[in-house]
């Protein structure tokens, strides 16, 4: 995988993957405004570097929910990794382990909770969709806790699937041999029509996912697990304040990679108001549009504890499996090291809001 930056990955993956699979990963909702803004918004933030700082000894390690990781870049949950590589989430887990960071496993994974847990000893989080059938959600949570996962990331921005027009145009469906593995042993799931199970798009989501999720359900989730709970999909100070009020351990500022409600702010622009509202009472993370190590530095300066990446590591996985995931993380790590040195930040702890400003024009 002879690439020197993350932007070179997507065209290579497009050449390799079937059109339907590529479009499923690359596409956003409707006009793709929020998806594009996730990336371009970083360009509206400028650095205020400090000079004459000793950066001869750098340290990119940090702690997330009490676990030390080698760099403040984690893997966001993305669905069905076997769409792009035969080993799927197993290769992803090994790539994250090689760089000493967290992988977040999707509810809609193509390898099981148990198999991914057995693959490496690195800390792993689990992304949970709340199902109308609460026993289905409980079924997942109990398995995750038993397998040593470190946190539950409850996705809160999907009462319905966003309108993803490329998938509609392509009639997106699961190719033969690709399954949602986390429900293989769930009896009620086996009763669903095979044709519906294979689509894994709006009809399935709208049938299965809870569209009446409210703040009172945080209490329900807390009652069935001792794991830290993070909410993924928060974009406003109002919801951030409510999350803290309901005792969550973390917030992931996210617009689902621009795949849900088109027209919401870029996550880097939503981040500051969430950080302010949380006021240190929970850890704040973000995903969306991270393509450079300098993007990571900007997010940390605006208050993120760490960031998550999604599409870039999926392209890396598609191109070269475990080594591709590792390469994506290593590129970002090298870029972050350089950006921190040039900004005058020897360690993650040295980064604060004084290092950035909004562009004036």
Question: What's 114's domain CATH number?
Answer: 3.20.20.70
* Residue pair 255/157 in contact by the 8 Å Cβ criterion: yes
| Residue 248 falls inside a structural domain | yes
* Residue pair 9/310 in contact by the 8 Å Cβ criterion: no
Over residues 30-45, the mean pLDDT reads 98
Q: Which residues are catalytic?
A: 256
| Residue 21 falls inside a structural domain | yes
Model pLDDT for residues 305-356, shown as the tens digit of each residue:
999 999 999 999 999 999 999 999 999 999 999 999 999 999 999 999 999 9
Model pLDDT for residues 136-166, shown as the tens digit of each residue:
899 999 999 999 999 999 999 999 889 999 9
3-state DSSP assignment of residue 69: strand
pLDDT higher than 80, residue 119: yes
What's residue 203's pLDDT?
A: 65
Rounded CA separation 97/117 (Å): 12
Query: What is the number of helices (H) and of strands (E) in the chain?
Result: 15, 12
Place of tokens 């940090």: 62
Straight-line distance from the first to the last Cα atom of the chain, in angstroms, rounded to the nearest whole number? 38
| Residue 201 falls inside a structural domain | yes
Confidence of residue 361 (pLDDT cuts 50, 70, 90): confident
pLDDT higher than 80, residue 231: yes
| Residue 303 falls inside a structural domain | yes
Is residue 217 classed exposed, middle or buried when 0-12, 13-18 and 19+ CB atoms within 10 A define those classes? middle
What's residue 208's pLDDT?
A: 77
pLDDT higher than 80, residue 225: yes
Phi/psi of residue 357, nearest 5 degrees: -150, 160
Classify the phi-psi angles of 270: left when phi > 0, otherwise alpha if psi is within -120 to 50, otherwise beta. alpha
pLDDT higher than 70, residue 195: no
Inter-CA distances, 118 with 75, 146, 149, 174, 267, Å: 18, 12, 11, 25, 33
What's residue 192's pLDDT?
A: 59
Inter-CA distances, 117 with 94, 146, 149, 182, 348, Å: 11, 10, 8, 12, 29
**Closest Cα partner for 348 from 104, 70, 105?**
70
Query: Any idea what DSSP says for residue 183?
Result: G
What's residue 184's pLDDT?
A: 75
Confidence of residue 202 (pLDDT cuts 50, 70, 90): low
Over residues 226-248, the mean pLDDT reads 98
Who wins on pLDDT, 173 or 193?
173
Does an H or E element contain 25, and which? Answer: helix 19-26
Mention every residue, 6+ apart, whose C-beta is less than 8 A from residue 213. Answer: 130, 156, 159
What's residue 94's pLDDT?
A: 98
What's residue 131's pLDDT?
A: 87
**Structural domain containing residue 265:** 6-358
Confidence of residue 360 (pLDDT cuts 50, 70, 90): confident
pTM for this model (two decimals): 0.96
Inter-CA distances, 172 with 21, 87, 144, 289, 315, Å: 8, 21, 29, 24, 19
Number of folded domains that form the chain: 1
In a 13 Å sphere around the CA of 191, the CA atoms on its Cβ side amount to 4
Q: Which residues pair with 335 in a beta bridge?
A: none
Place of tokens 């999604």: 310
Model pLDDT for residues 74-88, shown as the tens digit of each residue:
999 999 999 999 999
3-state DSSP assignment of residue 241: helix
Model pLDDT for residues 165-180, shown as the tens digit of each residue:
999 999 998 898 888 8
- Determine which of 104-108, 135-139, 189-193, 325-329 has the lowest per-residue pLDDT on average: 189-193
What's residue 189's pLDDT?
A: 65
What DSSP letter does each residue of 252-309 carry, written as one string? EE--GGGTSSTTPPPHHHHHHHHHHHHTTSSEEEEES---SHHHHHHHHHTT-SEEEE
Query: What are the structure tokens assigned to 115, written together?
Result: 């198999």
What's residue 190's pLDDT?
A: 63
**Closest Cα partner for 306 from 75, 29, 113?**
75
Percent of the chain with pLDDT over 70: 94
| Residue 1 falls inside a structural domain | no
Output the average pLDDT for the chain. 94
| Residue 237 falls inside a structural domain | yes
């Amino acid at each position: 995988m002879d690439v020197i930056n993350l932007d070179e990955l997507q065209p290579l993956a497009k050449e390799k993957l079937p059109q339907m699979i590529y479009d499923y990963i690359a596409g956003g909702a409707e006009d793709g405004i929020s998806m594009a803004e996730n990336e371009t918004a970083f360009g509206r933030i400028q650095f205020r570097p400090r000079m004459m700082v000793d950066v001869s000894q750098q340290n990119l390690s940090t702690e997330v929910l009490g676990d030390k990781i080698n760099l403040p870049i984690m893997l966001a949950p993305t669905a069905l990794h076997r769409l792009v590589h035969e080993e799927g989430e197993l290769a992803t887990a090994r790539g994250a382990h090689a760089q000493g960071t967290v992988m977040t496993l999707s509810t809609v994974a193509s390898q099981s909770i148990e198999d991914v847990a057995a693959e490496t000893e690195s800390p792993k989080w689990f992304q949970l969709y709340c199902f109308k059938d609460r026993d289905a959600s409980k079924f997942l949570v109990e398995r995750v806790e038993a397998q040593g996962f470190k946190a539950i990331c409850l996705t809160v921005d999907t009462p319905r699937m966003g309108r993803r027009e490329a998938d509609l145009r392509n009639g997106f469906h699961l190719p033969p041999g690709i399954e949602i593995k986390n429900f293989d042993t769930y009896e009620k799931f086996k009763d669903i029509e095979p044709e519906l199970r294979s689509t894994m798009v709006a009809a399935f989501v709208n049938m299965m996912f809870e569209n009446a999720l409210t703040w009172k359900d945080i209490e329900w989730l807390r009652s069935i697990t001792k794991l830290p709970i993070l909410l993924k999909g928060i974009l406003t100070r109002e919801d951030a304040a409510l999350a803290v009020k309901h005792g969550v351990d973390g917030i992931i500022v996210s617009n689902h990679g621009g795949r849900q409600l088109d027209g919401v702010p870029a996550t880097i622009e939503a981040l500051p108001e969430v950080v302010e509202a949380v006021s240190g009472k929970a850890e704040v993370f973000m995903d969306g549009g991270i393509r450079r190590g300098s993007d990571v530095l900007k997010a940390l300066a605006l208050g993120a504890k760490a960031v998550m990446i999604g599409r870039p590591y999926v392209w890396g996985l598609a191109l070269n499996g475990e080594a591709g995931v590792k390469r994506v993380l290593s590129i970002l790590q090298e870029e972050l090291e350089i950006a921190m040195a040039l900004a005058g930040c020897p360690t993650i702890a040295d980064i604060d809001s004084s290092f950035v400003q909004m562009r004036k024009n």
